[in-house]
Amino acid sequence: MSSALDLQGPEERKVSNLALFKRCLGYFKPYMSRIILATGAMLIVAACQAAAAYLVQPAMDDIFLNKDKEALLYIPLLFLLITFAKVGFRVVQNFTMQYCGLKVLEKLRDELYRKIIYLPMKFYEDTQVGMLMSRIINDVVVIRSSMPALVMLIRQILTMVSLIVVVFYRDVELAFFAVIVLPAAFYPFIYFGRRMRKLGRKGQEKLADISVLLQEIFSGIRVVKAFATEDEEGERFDKENKRLLKLSLKQTMASELSSSVMEFVGGLGIALVLWYGGLQVIEGSSTPGTFFSFVAALVMMYDPIKKLSAANNDIQKALAGAERVFGIIDSPLIQVEQDGHYPLEEPFRELDFQNVSFAYNTEDLPALDRISLRVKAGEKIALVGPSGAGKTTFVNLIPRFYDPQHGAILLNGRPLNEYVLATLRRSISIVSQDNFLFNVSIRDNITYGHNNLSEEDVIRAAKAAYAHDFIMSLPEGYDTVIGERGVKLSGGQKQRLTIARALVKNSSLLILDEATSALDSEAERIVQKALENLMKNRTSIVIAHRLSTILRSDRILVMERGRIVAQGKHQELLSSCPLYAKLYTMQFRAPGDGLTDTDDDAESAACGNGPFGSDREGPAAYRSDGAAVMEETR
Ligand code: ADP
């Protein structure tokens, strides 16, 4: 699936395994002392394993052949002690390693989240949310196992080495026989390792696809239900799910084959040894004790060989996940929002758009085309225009959700991008159509972004937003968690909460996207009153949908195709701007009082006078050559 998250260019993909792996291990650095502890424990476990194999010889020869009673006591005791030590130290080793792995997981998730949350709006538009969630939840998990897998690898190698020592100590000649087959075991080790990595990468991609799909279905559940397409969506999910299953089965098969082939090679070694060793015992050149001790060590060696391959599989999967995670952390393709240095602390005085043009994509027509406009403190500006005219885009440039490609936007005389972004955004209140509320208490939703507000502040804001009464009627008042135990709010109530949130923010500049469509007239009336309170003593730029807003505004801007084609007061525009008059008669006088978007592609010379943007101060005065200018710019 291609998305903005397909971030690794060909160069990034070529990063060597070693570098990738080293980088994974780098995350474990802060836990070095714990890793040393785990390694120490691991050495003891390996030694215990070898000691147990070593003990088989005296057990066999002294107890069974020589019938030594003393040996009958101390050898089982010693064996018990060794087993006890082995089990104990293995717990220490495993827990410590898991602890480090989980800490690394936490850190990686945090790092990834921080990287992603600061990315610009554009990134979120181009990327599916499910994909992002998958990166943070699934991909990092496999990296966590990189260090434990490495330790496991070392532990198994150490166990093998110590067992090899026992094997050689017991019988050099036989040992040569046994280890001759070892190189044969390495080929599957490498082959299956590669395969596991490839499958690991595909598996993570599939998991991400499923997250994307689920996210899409759940967030679009209203549409799914309205169209009764649960079954069709189920099939779509099933298809993805089956693909994941197929991949997982392939992974399981590769993993199984890998250890089985290695075990088979091991079995071959044992068969050879049994035949040759048995021959030696029968001929009297070796004792059964020596032989069984030797075989015990050899048999014990197959466990590490098998685990070696499991550890290798884990490492390969970690590398596949690492490629995807570091792809985000490093990607030069995604730019963190450019921050300025100047903190915005003074109240709003003036906003100045100077010949601003903006296109969402370079190949698109500009959504905003050479907009010039000056907004003074205390002004109430209303934006109207047909759907797609650029009203939303225009207001989105002010908090720098997007940066214009041409022109400049000055706030209090300073370019927007010179301000510390957080201070800029905190100084603007935005009440948009989506009324998004978090799944936390009503109080926390109102005070969102402001931690130290008194109860009085919260209640004052709620009262001004006409929300206090309905909040008090809820089971737990301000502590009611939205969305929990059936607490559902109506559209109007949600809107009033977002107004209370904006009131608490108390910024001198307000950006408002009025939406009335979902409200009945009573709810509408209350929201309207709340908005009036919100707009009091503030500069406001409103994407207007209500007659009252338009009538009360100091200036109405009529937008069309990314340009401001007229501006002035209601009455002036009615007589001088046909587009405005048309918008007014088509929607505003219809029930619902909304001068809302229209898809009607109002004629481009609607105001007969063309772009008005360059005239910053003037009231409803139009350039007589406007239509010609507009044609020219398209
Ligand atoms: P309005 O708010 O007046 O309806 P918008 O500002 O939403 O208009 O849209 C202006 C133009 O920009 C439209 O042509 C629209 O299709 C386009 N547009 C809006 N948002 C995006 C986006 N996120 N990506 C690409 N194009 C967009």
Look at residue 216 and tell me if it is in a domain. yes
pLDDT at 410: 93
Whether 597 lines ligand 1, by a CB cut-off of 6 Å, is yes
pLDDT at 340 (0 to 100):
85
Specify the ligand 1 atom closest to the Cα of 365: 14
Separation of 534 CA from ligand 1 center, angstroms? Answer: 27
Nearest CA to ligand 1 atom 22: 360
CA distance 140 to 207: 13
Indicate whether residue 385 lines ligand 1 (CB < 6 A).
Answer: yes
CA of 59 to the centre of ligand 1 (A): 83
Distance 524 CA to ligand 1 centre (A): 26
432 inside domain: no
Q: Is residue 156 part of a domain?
A: yes
The reply to whether ligand 1 has any atom less than 6 angstroms from the CB of 435 is: no
Torsion of CA 257, 258, 261, 266, to 10 degrees: -140
Pairing of β 555-560 and β 563-568: antiparallel
Q: From ligand 1's centre to the CA of 389, what distance in Å?
A: 8
Dig out the tokens for 530 from the structure.
């709340």
**How confident is the model at residue 358, as a pLDDT?**
93
- pLDDT (0 to 100) of residue 15: 59
Number of domains in the chain: 1
Confidence (pLDDT) at 97: 86
Separation of alpha carbons 518 and 523, rounded Å: 9
Distance 393 CA to ligand 1 centre (A): 6
Record the pTM: 0.69
Is the CB of residue 391 below 6 angstroms from any atom belonging to ligand 1? Answer: yes
Q: Whose CA is nearest to atom 10 of ligand 1?
A: 390
* Pocket test residue of 392, 398, 402 for ligand 1, highest count of atoms within 8 A of CB: 392
Report how far ligand 1's centroid is from the alpha carbon of 403 (Å).
Answer: 14
Q: Which of 502, 494, 548 has its CA nearest to residue 525?
A: 548
Closest ligand 1 atom number to CA of residue 387: 4
Which of 384, 393, 579, 634 maximizes ligand 1 atoms within 8 Å of its Cβ, making it the mutation to test the pocket? 393
What is the distance, to the nearest Å, from the Cα of residue 195 to the centroid of all Cα atoms in its chain? 27
Q: Are strands 539-543 and 380-384 parallel, antiparallel or unpaired?
A: parallel
Please tell me if the CB atom of residue 360 comes closer than 6 angstroms to any atom of ligand 1. Answer: yes
- As to burial, measured by CB atoms within 10 angstroms (0-12 exposed, 13-18 middle, 19+ buried), residue 626 is buried
Compute the distance between CA of residue 574 and CA of residue 54 in angstroms, rounded to an integer.
Answer: 101
Mean pLDDT in order along the chain per 10 residues (634 residues): 43 64 86 91 87 84 84 89 93 89 87 82 77 81 79 81 82 75 70 83 86 84 82 88 90 82 75 81 82 78 76 83 80 68 89 92 86 91 89 92 91 91 88 79 86 85 87 86 70 86 87 71 78 86 84 90 89 86 72 46 46 36 32 30
pLDDT confidence of residue 601: 43
- For residue 122, the ligand 1 atom closest to its alpha carbon is 23
The CATH number that applies at residue 227 is 1.20.1560.10
Q: Give the position, in ligand 1's atom list, of the atom nearest the Cα of 390.
A: 6
Instruction: Please work out whether the CB of residue 367 comes within 6 Å of at least one atom of ligand 1.
Output: yes
- The C-alpha atoms of residue 544 and residue 353 are separated, in whole angstroms, by 20
CA distance 71 to 77: 10
User: Counting Cβ atoms within 10 Å, is residue 256 exposed (0-12), middle (13-18) or buried (19+)?
Assistant: exposed
Distance from the first to the final alpha carbon of the chain: 35
Neighbours of 154 (CB within 10 A): 15
In a domain, 567, yes or no: no
Which alpha helices (DSSP H) does 284-399 contain, by range? 288-330, 391-397
Flag whether 325 is in a domain.
yes
- Establish whether residue 389 lines the binding site of ligand 1, counting it when its CB lies within 6 angstroms of any ligand atom: yes
Q: Is ligand 1 within 6 A of the CB of residue 58?
A: no
CA of 208 to the centre of ligand 1 (A): 28
Residue with the smallest CA separation from ligand 1 atom 27 is: 360
Position 258 in a domain: yes
Residue nearest (by alpha carbon) to ligand 1 atom 15: 388
Give residue 244's domain range: 4-330
Whether 139 lines ligand 1, by a CB cut-off of 6 Å, is no
Residue 589 lies in a domain: no
- Ligand 1 atom closest to residue 562's alpha carbon, by position in its atom list: 10
Residue 58 covered by a domain: yes
Q: In angstroms, what is the span from residue 337 Cα to ligand 1's centroid?
A: 21
Which residue among 358, 360, 560, 596 is best mutated to probe the pocket of ligand 1, counting the most ligand atoms within 8 A of its Cβ? Answer: 360
Atom of ligand 1 nearest to the CA of 389: 3
Cα 593 to averaged position of ligand 1 atoms, centre (Å): 24
Residue nearest atom 7 in ligand 1 by C-alpha distance: 392
